[in-house]
Amino acid sequence: AQSVTQLGSHVSVSEGALVLLRCNYSSSVPPYLFWYVQYPNQGLQLLLKYTSAATLVKGINGFEAEFKKSETSFHLTKPSAHMSDAAEYFCAVTPNQAGTALIFGKGTTLSVSS
Amino acid sequence: KAGVTQTPRYLIKTRGQQVTLSCSPISGHRSVSWYQQTPGQGLQFLFEYFSETQRNKGNFPGRFSGRQFSNSRSEMNVSTLELGDSALYLCASSIDRSRNYGYTFGSGTRLTVV
């Protein structure tokens, strides 16, 4: 069965600092992996996705993530945090077969201080 | 290009009642999935519809049902509401059942059961 673990339910950084949000997955088949962001009272916005092509994936708003099969990880990074990055971030996996059922991690709330 | 539209945005119902939520996908998208988001359980997959047929179902009781119309619009219904059904219900659409395209989420319907 597939699963996603996000380490750290809450991460705090200063504006301009590196953002690192951790995601580890478990999958018996090659996974497709996603990062979504959710702002208060809104739906989920896709930041980036890994679909078995390049292992380093660049997304919107300066975010990127690297797929590491040996570590079963897909951590999200951004070199310099902005106040507007404060939100909740979700990592998700879907097995490499037909169907659109996303399995989400519990989420990480990112706080950015000035 | 219009996004995924969910109506209504907010809903208050009484325990024991039933409720119907609506989702209009992005034009040209034929796959619609539904998710329940609660503080305790996080984001959980409810079901997926494609070409008016349910293709995938999550682990929810039969009180939760849905359907999809020929124009790809989808509705989900919850009968005999329980307090625990209070949640944000999110709809996601995709071009088809391939995971290559990712999924676009609506802003959700917040259901409160009293």
CB A80 within 8 A of CB A28: no
> pLDDT tens across A48-78, in order?
999 877 899 999 999 999 999 999 999 999 9
Alpha carbon separation from B47 to A38, A78, B50, B94 (Å, rounded): 21, 33, 10, 14
DSSP SS3 for B111: strand
pLDDT mean over A103-111? 96
Please list the ranges in chain B whose pLDDT falls under 50.
Answer: none
Predicted confidence at residue B98, as pLDDT, reads: 75
Predicted confidence at residue A2, as pLDDT, reads: 82
Predicted confidence at residue A41, as pLDDT, reads: 84
Predicted confidence at residue A111, as pLDDT, reads: 97
> What count of CB pairs under 8 Å joins A to B?
63
Q: Tell me, yes or no, if A40 comes closer than 8 A to chain B by beta carbon.
A: no
DSSP SS3 for B45: strand
Q: Check pLDDT > 70 for residue A99.
A: no
Quote the minimal CA–CA distance from B37 to chain A in Å: 10
Quote the minimal CA–CA distance from A44 to chain B in Å: 6
The CA distance from A10 to A8, in Å, is 5
Quote the minimal CA–CA distance from A94 to chain B in Å: 8
Q: Do residue A49 and residue B102 have CB atoms under 8 angstroms apart?
A: yes
Q: Tell me, yes or no, if A43 comes closer than 8 A to chain B by beta carbon.
A: yes
The CA distance from B58 to B31, in Å, is 16
Residues of A in contact with B48 (CB under 8 A): 99-101
Q: Check pLDDT > 70 for residue A98.
A: no
Maximum Cα interatomic distance, chain A, rounded to a whole number of Å = 45
Q: Check pLDDT > 70 for residue A97.
A: no
Predicted confidence at residue A37, as pLDDT, reads: 97
**Which DSSP string corresponds to A17-41?**
SPEEEEEEEE-SS-EEEEEEEE-TT
User: Which band of pLDDT confidence, cut at 50, 70 and 90, is reported for residue A38?
Assistant: very high
